[in-house]
């Protein structure tokens, strides 16, 4: 069951700690001319009528001249290989270098704008673990929760606003840029808005292929936002192949809009998220932004006239590096900043997520609990009967739209939702270093969004049978190929493979669900406690 979400073309209304500003009409992408022509490409050409299917271009089934068609056995590398293949290529992007730090991988430190990554085994504290199934166990079921692929920025986001600011300055007198900023004299804004970039489509296609190689043998058991839909389709095309993906699975599209319950867009039904919670997160992040950008402004201001750079401009240029790279293949903005400045930008992103959609947010667990309830329903093959969260009762009550007997489940959503679900499940290793300060970067930071919610991030759950009777005995989860410790879940013991006994996980996760107060955390009129730190995504119990 592949489930994607998206209905309207509007993005999540929260970017860099602030509500999206009004749409910039002059930044909408314009039609491009092709070589040798003075007009934009149009299909069909003038005075030509095209029909679909076109008899002039028969497809392969009409030609019917195929060679051998044996397909071979399904891949099962997650059980048979000694290790897994990790994400090790950003083709066809140009790998940028950081100023005075040529050995520094800029694309690994862009926070939630980081391209798809594979975390090292010890990222979350289990250095001897691997996603490969332990020798004594067999895989029974797989769950995949993933984010959409790389996209263009939302309309009204910082890079576009910065472009408007430069354009206004350039049309007047006195604007000039020199040295490292000299490219701004000719730079124009070429980014679209909201939708997947070509590289973003590739990310999800590759994810589908990779998931087929690892878990394809389960498909033998009978598997049945515009960018969200596109991400799900690209994944399906990679998993099933372009000839059969549209008939080999069922795609359920949940509505991402106010007034509709959906576990894959819970922020729509949790009103506190975009009132006091988002504003508070923005305040904490912007406090850090004013600190870390100060020396950058001083350095770059020497090379530009007619524009007074601000902390928002600096962050816009760093975001432009990320967005232009995944959209255009290369960005001149990437070379403007030093290694420590990229880490400071990455920390800014971590602050936003920590306080709005991470362990430090009072309504984070409430946002993620609906998906956890659905997970428990699928694991136990028991219908949800208490609809007290973001679960959609119409969909979850139906055997058609919410089957309970599938070997593979795939859900496509946003970065902020994956983040919320991780907190709702109480993976405490992600919050081990405690609350994030907004005046300095801690040395032992455990909440790093580049590792947790990059583009195409993926949380994979494995249900295993490690006994001869073939019944489920254990479960575990991997985040971007690194196994997560389960010790934050009541009853789950420390295990070098990250395994938790299946029944203990069910009991412990149900206890976690029971302690999350969706109604209070999402709708109560409260003031976020500044000096009473939140580390589990819930408003403090003693202050209710």
Going residue by residue through the chain (544 aa), what tens digit of pLDDT does each one get? 334 322 222 233 333 333 222 222 332 333 333 343 444 556 566 776 666 666 766 655 565 555 555 656 667 787 777 777 788 778 888 878 644 545 788 999 999 999 988 999 999 999 999 999 998 899 999 999 999 989 999 988 999 999 999 999 988 778 999 999 999 999 999 999 988 898 988 888 888 888 888 888 887 644 335 565 566 677 666 665 655 556 666 677 777 777 788 899 999 899 999 888 999 999 999 999 999 999 999 999 999 999 999 999 999 999 999 999 999 999 999 999 999 999 999 999 999 999 999 999 999 999 999 999 999 999 999 999 999 999 999 999 998 889 998 899 999 899 999 999 999 999 999 999 999 999 999 999 999 999 999 999 999 999 999 988 889 999 999 999 999 999 999 999 999 999 999 999 999 999 999 999 999 999 999 999 887 789 999 999 998 8
For residue 146, CA distances in Å to 5, 130, 204, 429 come to: 12, 19, 9, 20
Please give the CATH superfamily to which domain 2-11+84-526+533-538 belongs: Phosphoglycerate mutase-like (3.40.50.1240)
The predicted pLDDT at position 324 comes to 96
Closest CA to 107 of 125, 123, 87: 87
Buried b (16+ CB within 10 A) or exposed e, 16-55: bbbebeeebeebeeeeeeeeeeeeeeeeeeeeeeeeeeee
The predicted pLDDT at position 112 comes to 96
Q: Whole-model pTM above 0.75? A: yes
- Which tokens is 421 given? 């679900």
The predicted pLDDT at position 28 comes to 32
Pairing mode of beta strands 474-479, 458-465: antiparallel
Q: What is the CA radius of gyration of the chain?
A: 24
| 3-state DSSP assignment of residue 336 | helix
- Residue 531: which H helix or E strand, with range? none
What are the boundaries of each domain within the chain? 2-11+84-526+533-538
How far is 277 from 347, CA to CA, in rounded Å?
19
The predicted pLDDT at position 22 comes to 26
How far is 525 from 522, CA to CA, in rounded Å?
9
Q: Is-contact 476 486, C-beta < 8 A?
A: yes
How far is 286 from 315, CA to CA, in rounded Å?
11
């Amino acid at each position: 069951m592949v489930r994607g979400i998206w209905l309207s073309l509007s993005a999540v209304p929260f970017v860099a700690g602030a509500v999206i500003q009004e749409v910039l009409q002059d930044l909408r992408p314009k039609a491009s001319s092709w070589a040798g022509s003075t007009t934009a490409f149009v299909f069909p050409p003038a005075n030509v009528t095209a029909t679909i299917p076109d008899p002039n271009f028969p497809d392969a089934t009409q030609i019917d001249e195929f060679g051998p068609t044996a397909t071979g056995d399904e891949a099962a590398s997650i059980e048979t290989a000694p290790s897994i293949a990790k994400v090790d290529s950003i083709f066809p992007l140009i790998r940028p270098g950081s100023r005075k730090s040529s050995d520094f991988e800029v694309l690994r430190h862009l926070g939630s704008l980081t391209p798809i990554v594979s975390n090292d085994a010890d990222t979350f504290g289990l250095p001897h673990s691997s996603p490969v199934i332990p020798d004594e166990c067999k895989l029974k079921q797989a769950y995949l929760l993933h984010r959409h692929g790389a996209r263009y920025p939302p309309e009204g986001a910082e890079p576009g606003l910065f472009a408007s600011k430069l354009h206004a300055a350039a049309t007047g007198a006195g604007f000039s840029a020199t040295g490292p900023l000299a490219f701004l004299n000719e730079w124009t804004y070429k980014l679209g808005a909201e939708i997947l970039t070509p590289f973003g489509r590739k990310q999800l296609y590759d994810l589908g292929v990779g998931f087929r190689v690892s878990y394809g043998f389960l498909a033998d058991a009978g598997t049945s936002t515009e960018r969200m839909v596109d991400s799900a389709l690209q994944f399906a095309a990679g998993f099933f192949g372009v000839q059969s993906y549209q008939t080999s699975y069922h795609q359920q599209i949940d509505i991402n809009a106010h007034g509709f319950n959906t576990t894959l867009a819970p922020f729509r039904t949790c009103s506190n998220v975009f009132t006091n919670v988002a504003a508070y997160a923005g305040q904490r992040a912007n406090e850090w932004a004013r600190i870390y950008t100060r020396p950058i402004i001083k350095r770059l201001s020497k090379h530009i006239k007619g524009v007074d750079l601000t902390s928002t401009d600096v962050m816009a240029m760093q975001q432009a590096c990320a967005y232009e790279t995944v959209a255009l293949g290369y960005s001149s903005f990437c070379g403007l900043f030093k290694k420590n400045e990229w880490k400071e930008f990455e920390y800014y992103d971590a602050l936003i997520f920590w306080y709005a959609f991470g362990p430090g947010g009072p309504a984070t667990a409430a946002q993620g609990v609906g998906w956890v309830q659905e997970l428990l329903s699928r694991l136990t093959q028991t219908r949800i009967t208490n609809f007290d969260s973001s679960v959609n009762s119409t969909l979850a009550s139906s055997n058609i739209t919410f089957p309970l007997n599938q070997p593979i489940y795939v859900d496509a959503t946003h970065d902020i939702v994956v983040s919320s679900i991780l907190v709702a499940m109480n993976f405490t290793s992600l919050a081990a270093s405690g609350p994030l300060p907004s005046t300095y970067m801690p040395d032992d930071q455990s909440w790093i969004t580049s590792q947790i919610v990059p583009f195409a991030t993926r949380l994979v759950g494995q249900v295993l049978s490690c006994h001869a009777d073939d019944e489920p005995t254990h479960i575990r989860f991997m985040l971007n190929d690194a196994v997560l410790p389960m010790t934050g879940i009541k009853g789950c013991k420390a295990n070098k493979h990250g395994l938790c006994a299946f029944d203990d996980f069910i009991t412990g996760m149900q206890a976690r669900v029971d302690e999350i107060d969706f109604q209070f955390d999402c709708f109560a009129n409260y003031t976020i406690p500044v000096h009473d730190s939140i580390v589990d995504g819930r408003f403090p119990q003693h202050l209710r």
